[in-house]
């Protein structure tokens, strides 16, 4: 049984190029399922062929009784279903016992956003000083909010990705797709100021092409960006928890509020499915209801 599990994990890595963290999550969830089978004597034969829908339903019921969030239970059940799909596709089992098993319903949490006033306070927080670091942070925060970029996208931005003259940047996103993201004159001025008066004092290697640099002159990391935003959120005395993704959520919500259509916002965010973007319309309806 362990052999098939390892084969499945290898398949996920090779076929879907999943990250090490994702593979580790599958391994953990399926290992938990195997432990449950052993502890409850549900697999005396030592073969996946003996695991039917009844035993899997028992496991799902057991998981629902544990102190897990519904999203965690849904993820664990999804891992089991994916594994049995793999076993059936590779003719290791004759029938897929998870075909008629439904995943637990997960209530979608609406994204946290900032008001326009809160965004303004956050974006202006680095302007208290005029150091290379503060010029970088002004450009960084404004770039995040004015384009709706993901955290990984903004820290991966290169100098050549930004066309200041035409006020557009070329953002390499998921699946090697490049999005054209326009930005306004105000963001252009701040970015220009950072490139001319801030970045030269941070860069250590003349061949470094990353747009946003840390104090060592290297590309800023996701963790570094998170700490920067956390510090300025505190400085701006924001009452809500702020993460880098909060600015992306706020960008989308404010775009829709100002009259942009859903397809336009979907394109800017780089969402593959419009259903992902539609959650921001639910946010708007929720606020109206309140």
Residues of the chain with CATH 1.10.150: 2-89
Phi, psi of 171 (to 5 degrees): -100, 110
pLDDT at 257 over 80: yes
Q: What pLDDT digit, counting tens, does each position of 75-101 carry? A: 888 889 999 999 999 999 998 998 888
What is the DSSP annotation of the chain? -HHHHHHHHHHHHHHH---HHHHHHHHHHHHHHHHHHHHTT--TT-SGGG--HHHHHHHHHHHHTSS--HHHHHHHHHHHHHHHHHHHHTTSSSS-TTTTPPPPP-PPPPPP---HHHHHHHHHGGGG--SHHHHHHHHHHHHHHHH---HHHHHT-BGGGEETTTTEEEEE-GGG-EEEEE--HHHHHHHHHHHHHTHHHH--STT--BSSB-TTSSBPPHHHHHHHHHHHHHHTT-SS---HHHHHHHHHHHHHHTT--HHHHHHHHT-SSHHHHTHHHHHHHHHHH-
Tokens of 238: 């924001």
Q: Burial, 121: exposed, middle or buried (Cβ in 10 Å; 0-12, 13-18, 19+)?
A: middle
pLDDT digits 0-9 by tens, 36-67: 888 887 766 668 888 888 889 898 888 888 88
The mean-pLDDT minimum among 40-44, 118-122, 154-158 falls in: 40-44
Q: pLDDT value at position 244? A: 81
Local confidence band at 173 (pLDDT 50, 70, 90 cut-offs): low
Return the CATH number of 2-89, one of 1.10.10, 1.20.120, 1.10.150, 3.30.70. 1.10.150
Q: What amino acid positions are annotated as catalytic residues?
A: 150, 174, 245, 248, 271, 280
Q: What is the mean pLDDT of residues 189-209?
A: 96
Beta carbons within 10 angstroms of residue 250's beta carbon? 24
Around Cβ 173, how many Cβ atoms within 10 Å?
Answer: 18
CATH code of the region 116-289: 1.10.443.10
Tokens of 232: 């300025």
pLDDT for residue 166: 96
For the cut 60, the answer to whether the pLDDT of residue 160 exceeds it is yes
pLDDT on residue 16: 76
Q: Taking Cα atoms as reference points, which of 152, 154, 163, 177 lies closest to residue 270?
A: 177
The pLDDT confidence band at residue 167, using thresholds 50, 70 and 90, is very high
| CA nearest to 115, candidates 246, 277, 260 | 246
The pTM (predicted TM-score) of the whole model is 0.62
What pLDDT, on a 0 to 100 scale, did the predictor assign at position 289?
44
The neighbouring-strand residues paired with 182 are 168
User: In this model, does residue 290 exceed pLDDT 60?
Assistant: no
Domain with CATH 1.10.443.10 in the chain: 116-289
């Amino acid at each position: 049984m362990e052999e098939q599990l390892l084969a499945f994990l290898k398949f996920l890595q090779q076929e879907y190029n999943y990250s090490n963290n994702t593979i580790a999550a599958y391994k953990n969830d399926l290992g938990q399922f195997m432990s449950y089978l052993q502890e409850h004597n549900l697999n005396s034969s030592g073969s996946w062929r003996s695991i039917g829908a009844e035993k899997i339903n028992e496991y799902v019921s057991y998981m629902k009784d544990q102190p897990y969030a519904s999203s965690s239970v849904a993820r664990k059940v999804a891992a089991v279903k994916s594994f049995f799909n793999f076993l059936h596709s590779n003719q290791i089992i004759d029938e897929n016992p998870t075909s008629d098993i439904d995943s637990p319903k997960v209530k979608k949490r609406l994204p946290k956003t900032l008001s326009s006033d809160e965004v303004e306070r956050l974006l202006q927080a680095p302007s208290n000083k005029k150091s290379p670091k503060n010029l970088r942070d002004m450009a960084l925060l404004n770039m995040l909010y004015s384009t709706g970029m993901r955290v990984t996208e903004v820290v991966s931005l290169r100098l050549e990705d930004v066309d200041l003259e035409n006020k557009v940047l070329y953002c390499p996103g998921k699946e090697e797709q490049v999005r054209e993201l326009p930005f306004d004159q105000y963001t252009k001025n701040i970015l220009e100021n950072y490139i001319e008066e801030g970045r030269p004092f941070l860069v250590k290697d003349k061949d470094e092409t990353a747009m946003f640099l840390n104090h060592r002159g290297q590309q800023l990391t996701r963790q570094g960006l998170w700490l920067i935003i956390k510090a300025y959120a505190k400085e701006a005395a924001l009452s809500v928890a702020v993460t880098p993704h909060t600015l992306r959520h706020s960008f989308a919500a404010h775009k829709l509020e100002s009259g942009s259509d859903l397809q336009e916002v979907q394109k800017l965010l780089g969402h593959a499915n419009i259903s992902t973007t539609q959650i921001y319309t639910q946010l708007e309806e929720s606020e109206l209801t309140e």
